[in-house]
Chain A
Amino acid sequence: MEVLGSLAGGFATALQPQYLLFAAIGVSLGTLIGVLPGIGPALTVALLLPLTYSFDPIGAFIMFAGIYYGGMYGGSTTSILLNTPGESASIVTTLEGFQMAKRGRGGPALATAAIGSFVAGTISTIAITLFAPFVAGVALAFQPADYFALMVLAFVSVSALVGRSLLRGATSLFIGLFIGSIGIDVLTGQSRLTFGVTELLDGLNIVVVAVGLFAVGEALSVASRMRAERGDVLAVKGRVWMTRDDFKRSWPAWLRGTLIGFPLGALPAGGAEIPTFLSYNVEKRLSKHREEFGTGAIEGVAGPEAANNAAFSGVLVPLLTLGIPTSATAAVMLAAFQVYDLQPGPLLFTKAPELVWALIASLYIGNVMLLLLNLPLIRIWVKILEIPRPVLYAGILAFATLGVYSAANSVLDVLIMYSIGVLGFFARRLDFPVGPIVLGVILGPLLETQFRRAMSISQGDLSTFVTRPLSAAILAVAVGALLLPYLPRIIARVRGRREPVDRLVFGDDSDE
């Protein structure tokens, strides 16, 4: 019961009045920014990162937990009322959520998303409390070769399973690796890919990349279409609260969504896209109201939103215990740890127990605050969506600039961020996923370091990756993840049939 003692210690820290205030500010700011259309949790965290620089680490991370949950919750609001998901994990929510809003049931849709997020977030936080110290203990025995294999698995699953094309996913990943390699090599001190530009020696900050890709890339996309399209906000009519029947249909979906979301998020193959699609399909199959799917079935919002939140919490397990971010949001979180000179990994639990447990305790607190603040305030958050879009996007661009500029007072950083925004604009246009770029930037250098360490230990013998049972097993899973989308086609080929079978996709067109 050592865990309970540590957790109690964490609560004792996190319940201090100033930290409660930080949590409240974090939840409100996270929701406020997350509600803006086209802005998902990764960008919310990246934009608000500079705000936390002046706090002590514990205060900053408590605020962070709030921003994280607030950003996720805010994202569901735009999916439901505007049909614009802030990120790929919210795409499923639009399927039923927007239909519900169209039929004047936006209130219950938002409520089931909020309560579902709370339920999933709380259950997942309990799971983190129980599992994370255990995983961290196991991870102490991990060798560089195992870490390398884990990161290969994360890379493969992100580029192969998400998005419509393995080829384009892999290309995005390699572009990310390119950006991540710019700067001084940590092991030898040699400069790489800087092409003589001194300012590049420190490398590109992940915040510069994330804000550029998500904020500027998105804003330019919207700007290019501003005259062709109009986004109309659906008003929240009638009762916000759910009926007894809504509730009866929602709660099993919340629990199933959590069960699907947490384990899949916790695997170092993470991301939240796959669990949300799985949850939607499960709900559709199990529902007694299958005919309502496509026209606004509440289970279709409750399940995926719970899965989304649970997966996002699950992502914290590999992040905290192994130091491996498996989603764009987690990559930005890792950058936050690095700002405070903290290296997440198995040693974090022994080196900075006060911080870890305060962070976990604040996940519980953040969840409760989110529910208390957001349910009554739904109508106010919805008002934010009524900001005229030209002013809104001008504001987003100003804040993106502020976020990058205030970190180092560097105009060059801002200009690089804009260039990466142009890259993001063309990536959207040509259907290249942007998540793998962010992941490549932050995971690439980690992967390289572990690879080189493993090779130093084995004295240059490549077979070390396949002779260690653990790394060999993980690499085998990675190969499996690579082949999985082509399985139907391979089976058809083996059976001697020739008709074209589509590739399995877990991206935005896997439905039907």
Chain B
Amino acid sequence: MIGDAKDAKDASRGLLEARLAAAVVIGLGLLALFGATQVGAGAGYVAVGPSLMPTVIGVGLVALGALLLLRATVRPDLDLARHVAAEAALTDWPTTGLTLAALVAYALTLGPLGYVLATTWFIPVVARILGSRRPVRDLVVGVAIGIVVYVAFTQFLGVRLPAGLLDPVLP
């Protein structure tokens, strides 16, 4: 009986997330419908104007979101609820959040620090977040990737990457 109670609790947790997802889908649909009203008509005669597609998408998303909500409330999809509960049991939010934060910081430092330095800090930091215990090795990997990619892209492939702080020393 205890197992049943736990299962029911897991399922309700999963259904809660499914309901949130349905709400987000409906919200996206309303956003599309609002966007459709903002589209200008354009000059000249066209059989089908530019606002039809956003309208169709908006109506579709609202309808699909409503159906998803139905499947998370009145006729609950228990397979899905169990799937989500299993995912939730494994999820470690701090790791996920820190990874995302490191990514955003990486994108923002690419320009000012330059590709090589940004990559040099990014690899060991993310590896540490993901559970690596060998900072020196990770740092070496970061430096190596930074330099090799920078040289290969700028010298051989003709793709520009930011030199940043190292501008005076890089080729």
A229 to B90, CA, bound (A): 8
CB-based contact A228/B92 at 8 Å? yes
Closest to B22 in A: A171
- With contact pairs A178-B61, A406-B159 given, residues A227 and B131 touching in the complex (Cβ less than 8 Å): yes
- Contacts A/B (CB < 8 Å), 15 sampled: A167-B64, A171-B65, A187-B46, A220-B99, A223-B99, A224-B95, A225-B90, A226-B131, A398-B106, A411-B108, A411-B110, A414-B110, A425-B96, A430-B80, A459-B47
A71 to B108, CA, bound (A): 31
A452 to B123, CA, bound (A): 48
CB-based contact B104/A415 at 8 Å? yes
1/0 per residue B139-169: CB within 8 Å of A? Answer: 0010001000100010001111110000000
Q: How far is the CB of A394 from chain B (nearest CB, A)?
A: 4
CB-based contact B103/A178 at 8 Å? no
Set B39, B43, B91, B138: member contacting A394, Cβ < 8 A: B138
CB-based contact A178/B84 at 8 Å? no
Chain B residues with CB under 8 Å of A193's CB are 31-32, 35, 54
In chain B, positions 55-112 with a C-beta closer than 8 Å to chain A are: 57, 60-61, 64-65, 67-68, 71, 77, 79-80, 83-84, 87-93, 95-96, 99-100, 103-104, 106-108, 110-111
Chain A residues with CB under 8 Å of B110's CB are 401, 405, 411, 414
Asked if A18 is at the interface (CB within 8 A of a chain B CB), the reply is no
- With contact pairs A414-B107, A451-B48 given, residues A192 and B35 touching in the complex (Cβ less than 8 Å): yes
CB-based contact A224/B103 at 8 Å? no
CB-based contact A398/B145 at 8 Å? yes
Closest to A459 in B: B47
Chain A residues with CB under 8 Å of B100's CB are 220, 418, 422
Q: How far is the CB of B144 from chain A (nearest CB, A)?
A: 10
- With contact pairs A189-B42, A192-B50, A409-B160 given, residues A226 and B95 touching in the complex (Cβ less than 8 Å): yes
Closest to A430 in B: B21
CB-based contact B122/A394 at 8 Å? yes
Q: How far is the CB of B151 from chain A (nearest CB, A)?
A: 13
For the complex with contacts A227-B131, A391-B123, 6 further pairs of A-B residues with Cβ separation under 8 Å are A53-B157, A175-B61, A193-B54, A390-B128, A397-B126, A415-B104
Q: How far is the CB of B91 from chain A (nearest CB, A)?
A: 5
Q: Interface centre among A195, A405, A428, A430, by most B CB within 10 Å?
A: A430
Interface residues on B, range: 35 or more
In chain A, positions 413-442 with a C-beta closer than 8 Å to chain B are: 414-415, 418, 421-422, 425-426, 428-432
CB-based contact B47/A228 at 8 Å? no
Asked if B113 is at the interface (CB within 8 A of a chain A CB), the reply is no
**Size of A's binding interface in residues, CB under 8 A:** 70
Q: How many A-B residue pairs have CB under 8 A?
A: 205
Identify the A interface with B (CB < 8 A).
50-51, 53-54, 164-165, 167-168, 170-171, 174-175, 177-178, 181, 185, 187-193, 195, 216, 219-220, 223-229, 388-391, 393-395, 397-398, 401-402, 405-406, 409, 411, 414-415, 418, 421-422, 425-426, 428-432, 444, 448, 451-452, 455-456, 458-460
Asked if B23 is at the interface (CB within 8 A of a chain A CB), the reply is no
Task: Give the top 8 A-B pairs by smallest Cβ distance, nearest first.
Answer: A188-B42, A390-B130, A390-B132, A394-B126, A185-B50, A455-B47, A390-B127, A193-B35
Closest to B161 in A: A406
Q: How far is the CB of B139 from chain A (nearest CB, A)?
A: 11
Chain A residues with CB under 8 Å of B129's CB are 223, 390
A414 to B17, CA, bound (A): 28
Set B49, B50, B68: member contacting A167, Cβ < 8 A: B68
Chain A residues with CB under 8 Å of B43's CB are 188
A451 to B39, CA, bound (A): 19
A168 to B47, CA, bound (A): 32
* Chain B binding surface, main DSSP class: helix
Set A167, A225, A388, A444: member contacting B67, Cβ < 8 A: A167
CB-based contact B47/A167 at 8 Å? no
Q: How far is the CB of B118 from chain A (nearest CB, A)?
A: 9
Chain A residues with CB under 8 Å of B25's CB are 171, 175
Set B53, B84, B103, B108: member contacting A181, Cβ < 8 A: B53
1/0 per residue B10-23: CB within 8 Å of A? Answer: 00000001100100
Q: How far is the CB of B121 from chain A (nearest CB, A)?
A: 11
Asked if B40 is at the interface (CB within 8 A of a chain A CB), the reply is yes
- With contact pairs A51-B157, A402-B149 given, residues A216 and B64 touching in the complex (Cβ less than 8 Å): no
Chain A residues with CB under 8 Å of B51's CB are 192
Q: How far is the CB of A146 from chain B (nearest CB, A)?
A: 17
Chain A residues with CB under 8 Å of B39's CB are 185, 190-192
Q: Interface centre among A164, A167, A229, A460, by most B CB within 10 Å?
A: A167
Closest to A193 in B: B35
CB-based contact B84/A431 at 8 Å? yes
CB-based contact A188/B49 at 8 Å? yes
Closest to B108 in A: A411
Q: Interface centre among B18, B25, B64, B124, by most A CB within 10 Å?
A: B64
CB-based contact B71/A448 at 8 Å? no
A216 to B79, CA, bound (A): 26
CB-based contact A401/B107 at 8 Å? yes
A219 to B31, CA, bound (A): 29
A188 to B129, CA, bound (A): 48
A451 to B21, CA, bound (A): 31
CB-based contact A171/B103 at 8 Å? no
Chain A residues with CB under 8 Å of B21's CB are 426, 430, 432
A60 to B149, CA, bound (A): 19
CB-based contact A190/B50 at 8 Å? yes
CB-based contact A418/B103 at 8 Å? yes
CB-based contact B107/A418 at 8 Å? yes
CB-based contact B96/A220 at 8 Å? yes
